[in-house]
Amino acid sequence: MDNRLDEIDRGILHMLQLEARETTAQEIADTVGVSPSTVRNRIGQLEADGIIRGYHPEIDYEAANFPLQVLFICSAPPTERTELAEEVMDVHGVVDLRELMTGKRNIHVDVVGTSTRDVTRITNAIHALGLQIDSSELLQQRRRQPFDHFQFATDGEM
């Protein structure tokens, strides 16, 4: 498996990050200068290579009646970190997890709930798995943006 990306792959990834659901193969093809079938084949290969791992909706949890979003900063022994991270993903209410390679505070867990009772239940479940919660923060808003350093110019310059 050769994961070196050329300009076409980088352009496809850039376009998919901007709006994967609404962008057609034809629109991507027009931007990167290839046919729509080439775009579909390249996307299939990027998926097969594990570079594209999925397409996920961005959810406004508050609008979906989950007004409490909490970020737990946890510590796990390095030798148990990955196993504990996988177990935490099974806790009802966990929506995102970041496992860090180094440092004491090496697992960050985003959770949603409708009440403090939900947050307490999740807190207890995380503790029961053996993770130490170092801090918990009530989230107001999360902002994301596409990675734009694929060295692809969308203004016609390649």
Separation CA 114–CA 85 (nearest Å): 23
- Residue 2 predicted with pLDDT over 70: no
Task: Answer yes or no: are the C-beta atoms of 67 and 114 closer than 8 Å.
Answer: yes
pLDDT of 145 reads: 77
Separation CA 19–CA 24 (nearest Å): 10
pLDDT in tens, 86-96: 999 999 999 99
How many Å separate Cα 125 from the centre of its chain? 23
pLDDT of 19 reads: 85
pLDDT of 143 reads: 79
- Residue 156 predicted with pLDDT over 70: no
- Sheet holding 107-113: strands in order across? 94-99, 107-113, 68-75, 132-138
Task: Answer yes or no: are the C-beta atoms of 24 and 12 closer than 8 Å.
Answer: no
pLDDT of 148 reads: 67
Separation CA 157–CA 149 (nearest Å): 15
pLDDT of 153 reads: 53
Q: Which residue has the higher pLDDT, 150 or 122?
A: 122
pLDDT in tens, 109-147: 999 999 999 999 999 999 999 999 999 999 888 877 777
| Residue 6, token pair as written in the block | 């050329």
CB atoms within 10 A of CB 146: 14
Domains of the chain: 7-48 (1.10.10.10), 68-138 (3.30.70.920)
Q: Provide the 8-state DSSP code for 40.
A: H
pLDDT in tens, 18-71: 888 889 999 999 999 999 999 999 999 999 999 999 988 888 899 999 999 999
CB atoms within 10 A of CB 124: 11
Q: Name the residue type at position 12.
A: I
